[in-house]
Amino acid sequence: DAGITQSPRHKVTETGTPVTLRCHQTENHRYMYWYRQDPGHGLRLIHYSYGVKDTDKGEVSDGYSVSRSKTEDFLLTLESATSSQTSVYFCAIGAALLAGELFFGEGSRLTVL
Amino acid sequence: GQQVMQIPQYQHVQEGEDFTTYCNSSTTLSNIQWYKQRPGGHPVFLIQLVKSGEVKKQKRLTFQFGEAKKNSSLHITATQTTDVGTYFCAGFTGTASKLTFGTGTRLQVTL
C-alpha cells in the first residue's frame, strides 16, 4: 500500500466546533485530494491540491477549507462543524495530472452531533 | 458540472453468475478509471482505460471504454464471494486535474 495515513481515524464532535483532519504521505506525490463518501452519493471531491500552497475547490467545498504548507501534509478543516458534515472522509494522492491511479487513505469517520 | 452515473446502484447475485455495471458521463472523458471498495475499506485502483473503444481484461474482469468516450462498463464473469464490494468508475475531463467519481454499484455475492 502507498504511504498515506489519515488522522484521526474516528472522531465524534459537537455542532459548531472546529475540526481538522490530517492527511500525511511519504510518496512525494504532487497531487492530494479530499473526498467525502455518503450513501447514495459515491465519492465527492471537496478540495484538492496540485502543489505546496496551491489548492482549488471541488464540487462540495462549502463549509470546508484546506491548507498544504508541505508536500507531505494536506489538512482539511471544518471551521464550524454541522450535522450535514457527518461522513467518511478519504484523502487520496496521485503522481500525475489527468492520468494515473489515485491511492487512498484508510478514511476518517466523522460524526457531528 | 460533470456528472458520472452508474447503474445499477445495487446488485445481488449468486456465486457463479455474471455481473455488469455501467458508467455514463454527461461529458466526454479523457480517460476512465475503475476502483473497488471492499466493505469497511478504502477504494483501490483496478484499471485505467484511455483509448476510444478500448477493452482490457484482468482474469474474470473485463473493462470497456465506449467509442464516444462517455461511457464504460465492467463485467465480471462467474462471480466469487471475493468480488463483494462497491465498484466505482471515475473520469477526468478536459484539463481539470481532478477525478470525478461515479455513484458506485454495490455487489453482493451469496453462495
Name the closest residue on chain B to residue A32, using Cα atoms: B98
- For A16-61, write each residue's pLDDT tens digit: 999 999 999 999 999 999 999 998 888 999 999 999 999 999 989 9
- Angle at Cα A89 formed by Cα A30 and Cα B65, nearest 5°? 65
Name the closest residue on chain B to residue A44, using Cα atoms: B101
Decide if B95 touches A, using CB distance below 8 A.
Answer: yes
Confidence of residue A100 (pLDDT cuts 50, 70, 90): confident
- pLDDT at position B100 is 87
Question: Could you tell me which residues are beta bridge partners of residue B91?
Answer: B32, B100
- For A67-82, write each residue's pLDDT tens digit: 999 999 999 999 999 9
Tell me whether residues B104 and A45 touch, CB distance under 8 A.
Answer: no
Q: Which of B42, B48, B98 sits opposite A45 (nearest CB)?
A: B98
Confidence of residue A1 (pLDDT cuts 50, 70, 90): low
Q: Which residues of A touch B (CB under 8 A)?
A: 31, 33, 35, 40-45, 48, 50, 56, 58-59, 90, 92, 94, 97-107
Enclosing H/E stretch for B10: strand B10-14
Q: Which of A101, A106, A108 to mutate to test the interface with B (most CBs of B within 10 A)?
A: A101
- pLDDT at position A96 is 76
Alpha carbon distances (Å) from B7 to A18, A25, B71 = 37, 34, 11
Report residue A10 as a C-alpha cell.
Answer: 474516528
**CA–CA gap between residue B32 and residue A33 (Å, rounded):** 18
- pLDDT at position B70 is 95
Stretches in chain B below the pLDDT threshold 70: 1, 94-97
SS3 at position A64: coil
Enclosing H/E stretch for A78: strand A73-78
- pLDDT at position B3 is 82
